[in-house]
Amino acid sequence: MKGETMMENWLTKRVLLSPHKPALVFDNKTLTFGELQKDVLQTAAKLKTLGIEEMTKVAILGKNNATFYVLILALQQLGATIIFLNNRLTTRELSYQIEDAKCQLILYDSTYSAKTKDFPKEQTYSFGQIETLTPMDFQPVLTFDLNQVTTIMYTSGTTGRPKGVQQTFNNHWWSAVGSALNLGLSDKDSWLCAVPLFHISGFSIMMRSLIYGMPVYLMEHFEAPTINHYLKNGECTIISVVSVMLKRLVADLEEAHYHPDFRCMLLGGGPIDPQTLETCVKKEIPVIQSYGMTETASQVVALNSQVATAKIGSSGLPLFPVELKISKEGAEICAPYEKGEIYLKAPNITIGYLNQPEFPLDSWFKTGDIGYLDDEGYLFVVDRLKDLIISGGENIYPSEIEHCLLEHPAIKEVVVVGEEDQIWDQIPVAYLVFEKDQLVDFTKIQEFCQEKLASYKLPKKYYELSELPRNAAGKIMRHQLIKK
């Protein structure tokens, strides 16, 4: 029945339960849930004048600050479908996503005005323009339909074309439930968010705040000294990080220790080196390694700090709502330590990609990642989509960079691989074969790419080859190009 899929508006419910509890801390200003709701509804009343109705597709381009936070929640109060735009992408990349999602409105922080030059003017409004609008009466949505798509986040596809991951309220609800069952809940909890709100890592913290009744300490930029201050004085009990962030925090901490109330350093975005983990154990930093993706609305597997050293390299065990198996195409479940593809089944997994058929109900989700389970059921991820590069927690697909480089008239063939890096874990590097008699100018090639790719996707090194290594079948042997 339809009623069984409905839940009371999460912001409304949270204000009913704990109106005076801190909800958002940003730039030394604290908003309670009641105060946050007042700001959200005022903003929603202004957005309503733009004709936003339930299911209106609204793209939003912002950064980690209170304005962006409030706008996101305001769109949710209107029942809009929010398309999150990554502020690190180029105009070309953003325009593709806006067109693919058939966005009816685009909202942006004026910091990124230059990126909006190709956006449809009549549909595009700056956050400043929204502030000047005259509010109109409206009724916030009373209930959330758990089956409704509330957010869409684009992730690069293996073919180089980004895909819009559709996330329902149900996905976010079960993600929050799974996380709570894993980490537990405390009245003292507060989550420090220095990861982008437009990523699932950041947005999931927003949703947990509403569901748990927990304050979010929002950081516009990652600043290790400032973050360590919060963790040392006990103001924040949980933080989400990627490996490069963790390394910087540990280095800045030096001989100090975190407050006894600090409970969890939730680590995602790829593997961490054993040396850093060992340092964390010595400093009694409770690191919980995890595995997840945009398609799973945050983590689905986690490794607690008690077994971190015994299970170095593992992502952990599946969370309570999650089923996991390792299988080979056309074969049964793999035996312990046997490598195969990681399959997942959980209520927090996306219903499907935008403009593509929805995934069948009760089906297994093929992650495309290769891994194995040990004899205790702990997951070890061997390869992320085989050729995926994870740099500072950002997923970089070589094919997207390769397609860009092949548009350059001087380049005949190209292969992009990940090279190990002490700071970023991996960096993209490009191996090029040039057309005959073409002059090599890597600076010009980099400039060519800068117009088409986000900065973190740009190759950090270029190598010229006379030919690419291939096997007898003519397939490029990428492993021969990867430098350890």
CATH of the domain at 429: 3.30.300.30
Shared domain check, 376 and 395: no
Instruction: Identify the domain boundary among 382, 401, 420.
Output: 382
Helix or strand or coil: residue 382? Answer: strand
d(CA 220, CA 148) in angstroms, rounded, equals 30
Amino acid identity at 316: G
pLDDT at 316: 95
Shared domain check, 290 and 420: no
Instruction: Identify the domain boundary among 382, 405, 438.
Output: 382
Domain assignment of residue 419, given as a range: 389-480
Shared domain check, 450 and 341: no
Amino acid identity at 201: S
Shared domain check, 14 and 136: yes
Q: In this predicted model, what pLDDT tens digit does every residue of 173-195 receive, in sequence order?
A: 999 999 999 999 999 999 999 99
Classify burial at 176, counting beta carbons within 10 Å of its beta carbon; exposed 0-12, middle 13-18, buried 19 or more.
buried
Shared domain check, 375 and 405: no
| Reduced 3-state DSSP string for the chain | CHHHHEEECHHHHHHHHCCCCEEEEECCEEEEHHHHHHHHHHHHHHHHHHCCCCCCEEEEECCCCHHHHHHHHHHHHCCCEEEECCCCCCHHHHHHHHHHHCCCEEEECHHHHHHHCCCCHHHEEEHHHHHHCCCCCCCCCCEEECCCEEEEEEECCCCCCCEEEEEEHHHHHHHHHHHHHHHCCCCCCCEEECCCCCCHHHHHHHHHHHHHCCCEEECCCCCHHHHHHHHHHCCCCEEEEEHHHHHHHHHHHCCCCCCCCCCEEEEECCCCCHHHHHHHHHCCCCEEEEEEEHHHCEEEEEECHHHCCCCCCCCEEECCCCEEEEECCCCCECCCCCCEEEEEECCCCCCEECCCCCCCCCCCEEEEEEEEECCCCCEEEEECCCCCEEECCEEECHHHHHHHHCCCCCEEEEEEEEEEECCCEEEEEEEEEECCCCCCCHHHHHHHHHCCCCHHHCCCEEEECCCCCECCCCCECHHHCCCC
Shared domain check, 378 and 397: no
Give Cβ neighbours of residue 183 (< 8 Å, ≥ 6 apart): 238, 263, 264, 266, 288
Shared domain check, 412 and 373: no
Residues in the chain: 484
Shared domain check, 306 and 176: yes
pLDDT less than 50: residues of the chain: 1-3, 158-159, 472-473
Amino acid identity at 178: G
pLDDT at 331: 67
Shared domain check, 172 and 100: yes
Number of compact structural domains in the chain: 2
Sheet containing 287-293: give its strands across: 29-32, 22-26, 216-218, 191-193, 238-242, 264-268, 287-293, 298-303, 317-318
pTM of the model: 0.87
Instruction: Identify the domain boundary among 382, 413, 442.
Output: 382
Shared domain check, 454 and 356: no
pLDDT at 422: 87
* Contact criterion met (CB below 8 Å) for 168 and 147: yes
Find the CATH number of the domain harbouring 229: 3.40.50.12780
Shared domain check, 448 and 347: no
Shared domain check, 475 and 351: no
